[in-house]
Amino acid sequence: MAERSFAREVEDLRLGEGEIFRGEGILAITKALLQAGVGYVGGYQGSPISHLMDVLADAKSVLDDLGVHFESSASEAAAAAMLSASVMYPIRGAVTWKSTAGTNVASDALTNLASGGVMGGSLVILGEDFGEGSSIPQERSHAFAMKSQMWLLDPRPNLTSMVKAVEDGFELSEASNTPVMLQIRIRACHVHGQFVAKDNKRPDFTLKEALENPRRDVNRVVLPPASLFHDKEKLEQRWPNAVEFIRSRGLNEHFGPADGDVGIILQGGMYNGVMRALQLLGLADVYGNSLLPLYVLNVTYPLVDDEVADFCLGKKAVIMIEEGHPEYLEQSLNTILRRRDISTKVHGKDMLSLGGDYTTALMVEGVKSFLKTHAPRLLGNQPPTPDPKPVLENAKVKALAEVVPPRPAGFCTGCPERPIFAGMKLMEKELGQHHVSGDIGCHIFSVLPPFNIGGNTMGYGLSGAGASAFNVKADKRPIAVMGDGGFWHNGLVSSVGNAVFNKHDGVILIVDNHYSAATGGQDILSSRAQNPTRSTNNTIAEAVKGVGVKWLRQIDRTYDVAKVRDTLKEALTTPEEGPKVIIASSECMLNKQRRVKPQFNQAVKGGKRMVRERFGVDEDVCTGDHACIRLSGCPSLSVKHTDDPLKDDPVAAIDNSCVGCGNCGEVSEAAVLCPSFYRADIIYNPTRLDRVAAKLRTLFIGFLQRRRASRQIAFAA
Amino acid sequence: MSQNSSDTVSRLAAEKPITVAVLAMGGQGGGVLSDWIVNMAEAEGWVAQSTSVPGVAQRTGATIYYIEMLPPKDGKLPILSLMPTPGDVDVVLAAEFMEAGRAMLRGLVTPERTTLIASSHRSYAVTEKEKPGDGTGDPAVVVEATGVSARRAIVFDMQSLAEANGSVVSAAMFGALASADVLPFPRSAFEAAVRAGGKGVEASLRAFSAAYDKAREPADKSPEKREPDKSLPPLPASDPHPGLNRLLERIRSNFPETVQPMLFAGVKRLVDYQDIAYANEYLDKAEEICRLDAAAGGVSRDFAFTAEVAKYLAVAMAYDDVIRVADLKTRASRFERVRQEIGVKSDQIVYTTEYMHPRMEEVAGTMPAAIGRWLEESPRLFKALDRMVNKGRRVRTGTVGWYLMLHMLAGTKRIRRRTLRHAREIEHLNRWLELAGTLVPTDYDLAVEIVSCRRLVKGYSDTHARGHSKFDRVIAQVPRLKGRPDGAAWLSRLRRAALLDEEGKALDGALQTIDSIYGDKAAA
């Protein structure tokens, strides 16, 4: 497995009946799966659900004890297809990914799964990567639920509710023969809280039993006429069954007084924020008492029309608090009321914002304007709401906008991808700017300063395909950059295979850092580590040769900036036809350090001779032009001001977090920058030979130094 | 309001959670800090909730961790928010000074409630450090904003304090938080949380304790500054070395007092760079400048022209060449400084490897002028030699052979003044000084700005060439700026623009503006 250990989190999975689980939301859900008797789990890692995958990957003993199969799927499509095991057999299965990115990839399988329906409970856990901190386009998973007739749970964001949603989800799925999606927002995935655990449960029906007693039913196959029948079944059986289950089990919740002139309908995930907004308006307290009736949709699809109508009946107006757009729930609410001729006024996005995070402050304003319109008396006792405006309008605070720098995520200290883009920048100095098609992964940070390389991204593993139109005779070739993660996810076929088949003349640069690094350093097919439960060391080079790539260069040390530059130049100028593939490979430094650092410290402690490398800058040689930084951006390479009256600008400086990757030296050498960099090799536990050599050298060098110093004239003061 | 609803209002509990926001950069231990806070609160019987929106892996971006805590009431758990509300935060912990600024910009720090605990150290963002000039943000702005935003502020360099105690900034911040008495838990509860964390406990507790004490000391009166004061000691009364003493005498008797410290810095640099004679040459030129200055009414301007020349003439005369690099790299003081910077312990051995990339240009530059020129004028030979010379060399300064080579290279300082490079540098600086000198009588301010433009020439090889070309482009504007009331202001603007980016885009923009105001270059 990857270099980070989740052994402690695995212990939490063993908690039994009545014990208190304390930890992160996504881990609570992981535990809930085991409590629900899940038979198999798959998924594709990505924020914010990576930890579910990571912990289960480390939890082999727990899973083996329970007879649960876990696998790291090659893609979300592979994960979704895995749920096929629950179509014919009463086995509970769960898969997970980042949404909507992964749901897009999984849609093919999800559509087929939802068409035929399921027998065993099938749960798709979606890390809803929306709002602040999100790394993907802002879309809603809700749309997928509607188009495929899958049910969507959006529980209140506390561990108890999320854990309950897992159990409810399986049952709902079984009661309605429909796969269920469980949507958890970023903050809820990472929320620290607690719930009372139950014992883990072995699956009632195992994969082994299924394999040994195969069943088939042609009516479950997505083939006409069965597929047309599926559609009827969805509308006439599965949907009503689901609504009945949700209603009878009371999955949606009511809070506050039973009656009132006005009410709030909200997605479960918005509950804590709405409660805080009401508290700030003097209409609720922190322990959950509300003066307004609340109807909380822990299931946001399908709606239980009767419940919705009942809540609205007799109310002058309701407001729907629904994050993201379009306002599907608000539209449905209008339809439900209109069909029943209920005249309750409906508000929502007219008083909140159309898109973006529904922050507490935004909801305070929205609810306030709702109440002003329909129940102004409720605002009579309103305490002053927190208001940062006066201080934000102060000129001294406004001045901060000029000095506080943007600080997006970027390449880590010692990242092996940095020298690749330094090499590319140097290539551009000679051959000019090129069209660079980007992908998903750490390497996309190249679009930020200081590299400013690369344009659009069309999806995971699709950078090559994204450049496919540029297959015309021209004086420059396009460059597609993709990571090893993207390569195995989709890139081998959709980008590389596509380029071979269509005789594409461009360059495909594959960044191989031995892990799926951006998602937390998980192993993939080409990882170099030996993994007892997975097959690794399947090289990218063999794979691309297998699909017909003829021009292939492998760079095994990306820190060789000059080689990267020259290889790119060769790829861009060679007369050879067809795709030019460069595999630039060095281990992800974050993961390497996780492995190597403890080993190093251990060896030093044990008295072994060890050499640590790090870089430094001679500040009197540095002229403060920062050319090195423009080819690096490394967190450990920074600037510092000096007290030298003859120097205006700060000089470069390297701090102790330097891992000695070598980029600084290679760059200053390849770009002919300046001789101020030095590499220091620090010898720990020097041997006797080391000490003698050092002594002799010091004697000789010291003599020369003293002799010259004695001739050097200098002021006494 | 009806009787009925005020009854209901009174049924609402009045409690509010304590809210804490931690602003940190990935890798600074913001997660550890928020775990400590949560675990402590839970150990004290409170309900605590933390959230964050971190990217999974990368270690650089700004991140906010948010914590709320409150005791349960009658067995009922509080409902806590997952994100901070501007104006509703009790404590903001910022692990870096500009992150404190970011917290204020987001409205998280308000004078009614917020205690701001911030480390005053800077960790520069890429956009700050990539500028060819000084692109760092001014911390004084953050200090000013803190004064109006925070109810109370505890600000000191927690990073250095943590490092001094072998720990990381999060431990020091936790100590400052304990010391601030804003959470209702005793110091022992804080320390217990650190112990329960189980990693690097002793070092963490040392940093915790040091920060705890430091936070109780009265705050430093001196405001945070972007840079240290420049070291400009006054002119010493005398020097035992007769040659040096004469230099001091010359400065004392021939220059106004205000420029003496800078001249002293100049001669110090040049004696170190070359010899006493070279420093005297510097003073010769400076004296001439000073006379021009006085004639142009310099007295009333504090001899600004001379002062500027004193600085940039020294910089120009101590140009960076391979001889200088070899000299600096071989000094005993440099060996010692490396050991200190790297933190090498006495039982460890350290060797340095220098990354040098000499080109034929540098080799020719180090030749006597005539030979150097001849080489440059023989392009085929030059190219052939360049192929031999022009490659990266890893120089292991701590080994005998390499050291000897650098030592001898540094020794060629004796012939420096006969080299091609020297001839070029002196010619360039003479032209520059002459241009400035001729303008002093008629446009004093512009002349001072011309001298300052020398700041643009720095770096090595390509960077040096680019600096030169920027310098030339800026100086080329002098003919059409001279005599204009805002001429000096324009030149200053051009210089600052030239320092904003490498390619000179900002400079292009500024030049276009001048074109549009004063007509195109042809008209000038």
C-alpha–C-alpha distance, residues B405 and A701, integer Å: 12
In one-letter notation, the amino acid at residue B262 is M
Q: How many CB pairs under 8 A join A and B?
A: 443
Out of B130, B239, B455, name the one closest to residue A449 (CB): B130
Q: How far apart are CA A202 and CA A33, in angstroms?
A: 11
pLDDT at site B58: 60
Q: Are B148 and A396 in contact (CB under 8 A)?
A: yes
Contacts of A104 (CB under 8 A, 6+ apart): A76, A459
What average pLDDT does range B63-89 have in this prediction?
95
Of A441, A487, A442, A440, nearest to A459 (Cα)?
Answer: A440
Distance CA A420, CA A568 (A): 10
CB contact under 8 A, A643 and B229: yes
Q: Is B71 on the interface with A (CB under 8 A)?
A: no
pLDDT (tens digit per residue) in A225-255: 999 999 999 999 999 999 999 999 999 999 9
* Residues 82-121 in B contacting A (C-alpha not used; CB under 8 Å): 82-83, 85-88, 98-99, 101-102, 104-105, 107-111
Q: In this model, does residue B1 exceed pLDDT 50?
A: no
CA distance A46 to A128: 11
Tell me which of A673 and A157 has the higher pLDDT.
A157
| DSSP 8-state symbol, B415 | G
Q: Do B230 and A709 touch (CB under 8 A)?
A: no
Residue A66: CB atoms within 10 Å = 18
For A454-506, the pLDDT digits (tens) are: 878 999 999 999 999 999 999 999 999 999 999 999 999 999 999 999 999 99
pLDDT over threshold 50, residue B468 = yes
Q: How many residues does chain A have?
A: 717
C-alpha–C-alpha distance, residues A711 and A705, integer Å: 10
Backbone phi, psi, residue A196, to 5°: -85, 120
**For testing contact with chain B, the best of A397, A605, A661, A695 (most B CBs within 10 A):** A397
pLDDT value at position A370? 98
- B7 to chain A: closest CA residue: A291
Token pair of B305 as six digits: 């022209």
- Rounded CA-CA distance A157/A276 in Å is 13
Query: Which amino acid, residue B373?
Result: R
Q: What is the CA radius of gyration of chain A?
A: 30
* Residue of B133, B146, B157 whose CA lies nearest to B210: B157
Q: Does B2 touch chain A (CB under 8 A)?
A: yes
Which residue reads 């990539």 in tokens? Answer: B130
Closest chain B residue by Cα to residue A658: B342
Cα distance from A641 to chain B (closest Cα, Å)?
5
Q: For B324, which residue in chain A has the nearest alpha carbon?
A: A621
What is the predicted pLDDT for the residue at B6?
47
Interface contact B27, partner A, CB < 8 A: yes
Q: Which among A53, A110, A54, A45 is positioned nearest to A82, based on CA atoms?
A: A110
B434 in reach of chain A (CB within 8 A): no
For residue B79, report the phi and psi dihedrals to the nearest 5 degrees. Answer: -100, 115
Q: Residues A516, A517, A519, A522: is their CA dihedral positive or negative? A: positive
ipTM greater than cut 0.90? yes
> d(Cα A115, Cα B448) in Å, to the nearest integer?
80
Q: Write out the two tokens for A513.
A: 């850092």
Residues with Cβ within 8 Å of B174's Cβ and at least 6 positions away in sequence, in order, are B33, B36, B37, B190, B193, B194, B204, B208, B211
Instruction: Give pLDDT, residue B294.
Output: 97
Kindly state the DSSP code that residue A238 receives in the 8-state scheme.
Answer: I
Set of chain B residues whose Cβ sits within 8 Å of the Cβ of A649:
132-134, 455, 458, 499
Question: Percent of chain A beyond pLDDT 90?
Answer: 94
Residues 6+ apart with CB under 8 A from A536: A523, A524, A525, A526, A527, A528, A529, A530
CA distance B524 to B515: 9
**How wide is the angle at C-alpha A365 spanned by C-alphas A360 and A367, nearest 5°?**
90
pLDDT in tens, B325-334: 999 999 999 9
Which residues in chain A have Cβ-Cβ distances shorter than 8 Å to B15? 285-287
Residue B520, pLDDT > 70, answer: no
Q: How far apart are CA A160 and CA A417, in angstroms?
A: 42
- Name residue, tokens 């230099």: B247
The mean predicted confidence, pLDDT, of chain B is 93
Residue A583 pLDDT > 70: yes
| pLDDT at B521 exceeding the cut of 60 | no
Residue type at A222? V
* Interchain proximity A713–B244, CB inside 8 Å: yes
Peptide bond into A326 cis (omega under 30): yes
Kindly report, residue by residue over B486-512, the tens digit of the pLDDT: 999 999 999 999 999 888 899 999 999
B199-228 pLDDT, tens digit per residue, is 899 999 999 999 999 999 987 766 667 788
> Tell me, what's the pLDDT at A181?
98
Average pLDDT over every residue of B265-290: 98
Is the CB of residue B483 less than 8 Å from the CB of residue B439? no
Closest residue in A to B146 (Cα–Cα): A397
Judge if the upstream peptide bond of residue A450 is cis by omega within 30 degrees of 0.
yes
What percent of chain A lies above the pLDDT cut of 70?
Answer: 100
Whether residue B241 contacts residue A713, with contact meaning beta carbons closer than 8 Å, is answered with: yes
Residue A371 to residue A576: CA distance in whole angstroms: 71
Band (pLDDT 50/70/90 cuts) for residue A673 is confident
Which residues does chain B have within 8 Å of residue A162's beta carbon, measured at their own beta carbons? none
Token code pair at residue A589: 């430094």
Which of A409, A618, A702 has its CB closest to that of B328? Answer: A618
Q: In what order do the strands lie in the sheet with A180-185?
A: A69-70, A40-43, A93-99, A122-128, A180-185, A151-153, A299-301
Chain-chain contact of A679 with B104 (C-beta, under 8 angstroms): no
Q: Which residues contact B494 (CB under 8 A, 6 or more apart)?
A: B474, B477, B507, B510, B511, B514
Q: How many residues does chain B have?
A: 524
For residue B479, give the amino acid letter: P
Query: Considering only CB atoms, which chain B residues are within 8 Å of A133?
Result: 53-55
Confidence band, pLDDT 50/70/90 cuts, at residue B3: very low
First to last CA, chain A: 61
Mean pLDDT of B132-156: 96
For chain B, what is the radius of gyration of the CA atoms? 30
Give tens-digit pLDDT for A87-111: 999 999 999 999 999 999 999 999 9
Q: Is residue A197 within 8 Å of residue A20, measured between CB atoms?
A: yes
Smallest Cα distance from B518 to chain A, Å: 30
How far is residue A190's CA from residue A129's CA, in Å, rounded to a whole number?
A: 12
**Alpha-carbon distance A285 to B73, whole Å?**
12
What does the pLDDT average to over A77-96? 98
pLDDT of the residue at B8: 53
First to last CA, chain B: 77
| Chain A neighbors of B314, CB-CB under 8 A | 646
Closest-CA residue of chain A to B2: A377
- The answer to whether the CB of A127 falls within 8 A of the CB of A47 is yes
Do A392 and B107 count as a contact with CB atoms less than 8 A apart? yes
The closest alpha carbon to B438, from B430, B492, B262, belongs to B430
B173-188 CB burial, b ≥16 within 10 A, e <16: bbbbbbbbebbebeee
Q: Does the beta carbon of A662 lie under 8 angstroms from any beta carbon of chain B?
A: no
Going by the DSSP 8-state scheme, the letter that residue B521 receives in this structure is G
Number of H helices, E strands in chain A: 29, 23
What are phi and psi for residue A254, nearest 5 degrees? Answer: -115, 135
| Closest in A407, A650, A704 to B125, CB measured | A407
Q: Could you tell me the pTM of the whole model?
A: 0.94
**Does A3 have pLDDT greater than 80?**
no
B280 and A CB contact within 8 Å: no
Residues of B in contact with A407 (CB under 8 A): 25, 60-62, 98-99, 102, 125
pLDDT at B5: 47
Cβ distance A272 to B262 less than 8 Å, yes or no, reads: no
- DSSP 8-class letter at B218: P
Is B76 in CB contact (< 8 Å) with chain A? yes
| Contact residues, A window 18-47, toward B, CB-based 8 Å cutoff | 22, 46-47
The token pair that represents B307 in the structure block: 């002062």
* Cβ burial, residue A121 (10 Å; 0-12/13-18/19+): buried
In the structure encoding, which two tokens stand for residue A43, read together?
């998924």
CB atoms B463 and A673 under 8 Å: yes
B468 at the A interface (CB within 8 A)? no
d(Cα B357, Cα A438) in Å, to the nearest integer?
Answer: 33
Q: Quick one: which of B95, B40, B39 has its CA closest to B63? A: B95
Judged by phi (left if over 0) then psi (alpha if -120 to 50, else beta), residue A680 lies in beta
Can you tell me the distance from the alpha carbon of A274 to that of A279, in angstroms, rounded to the nearest whole number? Answer: 9
Q: What is the pLDDT of residues A272-330, one digit of tens each?
A: 999 999 999 999 999 999 999 999 999 999 999 999 999 999 999 999 999 999 999 99
Residue B62 pLDDT grade (very low, low, confident, very high; cuts 50, 70, 90): confident
Q: Closest Cα partner for A312 from A265, A376, A274, A378?
A: A265
Q: Which residues pair with A93 in a beta bridge?
A: A40, A122
Give the Cα separation of B381 and B372 in Å (integer): 12
- Whether residues B355 and A675 touch (CB distance < 8 A) is answered with yes
Q: Which residue shows structure tokens 């913001």? A: B30
B227-270 pLDDT per residue, tens: 888 999 999 999 999 999 999 999 999 999 999 999 999 999 99
Return residues 166-185 of B near A (CB < 8 Å): none
What does the pLDDT read at residue A454? 87
Span A24-36, average pLDDT = 97
| DSSP-assigned states of every residue in A582-651 | EEEE---HHHHHHHHHHHHHHHHHTT--EEEEEEEE-TTT--S--TTGGGT--TTEEEE----TT--SPE
Q: Which pLDDT band holds residue A2 (cuts at 50, 70, 90)?
A: low
Rounded to whole angstroms, the Cα distance separating A161 from A146 reads 23
Question: Quick one: closest CA in A to B99, which residue?
Answer: A404
Amino acid at position B102, single letter = R
For chain A, the average pLDDT equals 96
Selecting from A391, A519, A645 the residue whose C-beta is nearest the C-beta of B149 gives A391
Cβ of A700 and B229 within 8 Å? no
- Cα–Cα distance between A477 and A580 in angstroms, integer? 10
Beta bridge partners of B218: none
User: Chain A within 8 Å of B496 (Cβ-Cβ)?
Assistant: no
Is the pLDDT at A683 greater than 90? The verdict is yes
